Amino acid sequence: MSPVWFITGCSTGFGHELAKQVIARGDRAVVTARDKARLAGLVGGHEAATLALALDVTRTDQIEAAAQAALQRFGRIDILVNNAGYGYMAAVEEGEETEIRRQFDANVFGLFAMTRAILPIMRRQRRGHVISISSVAGFIGFPGSGYYAASKHAVEGWADALAAEGKPIGIRVTCVEPGPFRTDWAGRSMTQTPNRIADYAETAGARMGNAKAGSGKQPGDPARAAAAIIRIAGIENPPRHLVLGAFGVDAVTKTLRERLAEVEAWRELGLSADFPA
């Protein structure tokens, strides 16, 4: 039997492209979006192998209903792709409490709740793969993206724990960390707080301006990214981290090397904090 995918946030971007390729290859798929009508083009002609559902991941009632509908339709879920979420840009000092919490509800708490709803199914199967679309921002906090980076850092730490808990019972965990890709993320799936403090104009303010201006010119190809995700989905030993795109690979590699060098440079001071032997 072909594997069963459950993909959130399929109306646009990575989720849409991934769902399109999964369905085209003949796998079974539960595809979701807040507006179910936007999924018609994906599932049309493939009704026997697909299930389209309305799902807002910030609503636990919809999460539970979607998980049960998927189980009733296909009897199992092999691969969960946590893709729903969005970006929020602001200098840290300029961040607005309502917007910060709204982003965490979608990117963090909604993702956690969605996974908790699917884990009992995978645990009974003794097999499953939880794939969460993170970001290079899961490793690096860029100017203007502090709160977005915080949401992705949260997912990365949570995924480390889930990987350790799930491995003995056959549940694998991957975070996908794209750099800039040519989706409509900057145009549609990102909100910004206006830069009002002049001292941040050359850091956060400049990057926020470049994010909008560069939309549609990013080097990453969403179709190739989706193919890469399909390649690692469901295999016995998938990567814990899948960094996508040259910008992301180079930036993450540089950051991790610098971080390790800093730990080593301050090693003696760090070790001195223990009780004497």
Per-residue pLDDT reduced to its tens digit, 140-150: 999 999 999 99
**Sheet strands (E) in the chain:** 4-7, 28-33, 50-54, 79-82, 87-89, 128-133, 171-178, 190-192, 241-244
Instruction: Return the amino acid letter for 20.
Output: K
Catalytic residue, from 20, 88, 152, 200: name it. 152
The domain in which residue 146 lies consists of 4-248
Residue 239 has pLDDT above 60, yes or no: yes
Domain CATH for 54: 3.40.50.720
Question: Active site includes 20?
Answer: no
Domains held by the chain: number:
1
What is the per-residue pLDDT across 51-65, written as a single tens digit (0 to 9) for each?
999 999 999 999 999
Residue 11 has pLDDT above 60, yes or no: yes
Catalytic residue, from 132, 134, 135, 145: name it. 134
Tokens at 167, concatenated: 């491995």
What is the per-residue pLDDT across 197-208, written as a single tens digit (0 to 9) for each?
999 999 998 888
116: in domain: yes
What is the tally of helices (H) and strands (E) in the chain? 11, 9
Question: Active site includes 148?
Answer: yes
Token match 């921002």: residue?
A: 137
Question: Active site includes 134?
Answer: yes
Token match 């469901």: residue?
A: 234
Q: What percent of the chain has pLDDT over 70?
A: 96
Determine whether 36 is exposed, middle or buried from the number of CB atoms within 10 Å of its CB (0-12, 13-18, 19+): middle
47: in domain: yes
Residue 185 has pLDDT above 60, yes or no: no
169: in domain: yes
Catalytic residue, from 88, 147, 148, 200: name it. 148
